[in-house]
């Protein structure tokens, strides 16, 4: 599946016509249609709108890998990274602590 089909699939997953989608994301209908029909390549700005407004997964948009939409967990971690200016390594550690009861317990024991 190529990028134009993935863009169409995002809209269809939301069960929206091009007109409704245009209103929702504030992008002209003809622009959306041109992207979905591969008349034009999608702009970085358009992809960013899908990420920001619909929680679309940029990896899925570009490659077709992963889930179509970001999970709330991934969004929350991304927000934490931004809010606290965490490095990727710190974010990975935080994610491991949140998802692994064993690692949390080990850390708590270490801190005692």
Does the pTM surpass 0.85? The reply is no
For residue 12, the domain's CATH number is: 1.10.260.40
The yes-or-no verdict on residue 62 having pLDDT over 90 is yes
Decide: 100 and 107 in contact? Cβ < 8 Å.
Answer: no
Phi/psi at 28 (nearest 5 deg)? -55, 145
Query: Would you call 69 helix, strand, or coil by DSSP?
Result: strand
Query: Both 12 and 52 in a single domain?
Result: yes
Q: Are residues 59 and 81 in the same domain?
A: no
Containing 103, the helix (H) or strand (E) segment is helix 101-111
14, 49: one domain: yes
- Residue 82: Cβ within 10 Å count: 9
Same domain, 12 and 48: yes
Query: How confident is the model over 2-47, as pLDDT tens digits?
Result: 999 999 999 999 999 999 999 999 999 999 999 999 999 999 999 9
Q: Cα(21)–Cα(88) distance, rounded to whole angstroms? A: 34
59 and 28 assigned to the same domain? yes
Q: How many domains does the chain have?
A: 2
Same domain, 57 and 83: no
The predicted pLDDT at position 107 comes to 83
Question: Which of the two residues, 85 and 10, has the higher pLDDT score?
Answer: 10
Q: Which domain holds residue 47?
A: 3-63
């Amino acid at each position: 599946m190529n990028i134009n089909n993935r863009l169409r699939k995002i809209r269809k997953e939301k069960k929206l016509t091009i007109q409704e989608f245009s209103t929702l994301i504030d992008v002209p209908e003809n622009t959306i249609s041109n992207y979905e029909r591969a008349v034009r390549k999608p702009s970085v700005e358009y992809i960013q709108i899908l990420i920001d407004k619909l929680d679309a997964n940029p990896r899925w948009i570009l490659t077709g890998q992963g889930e179509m939409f970001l999970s709330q967990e991934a969004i929350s971690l991304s927000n934490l990274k931004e809010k606290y200016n965490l490095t990727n390594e710190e974010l990975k550690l935080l994610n491991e602590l949140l998802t692994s009861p064993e690692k949390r317990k080990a850390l708590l024991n270490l801190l005692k």
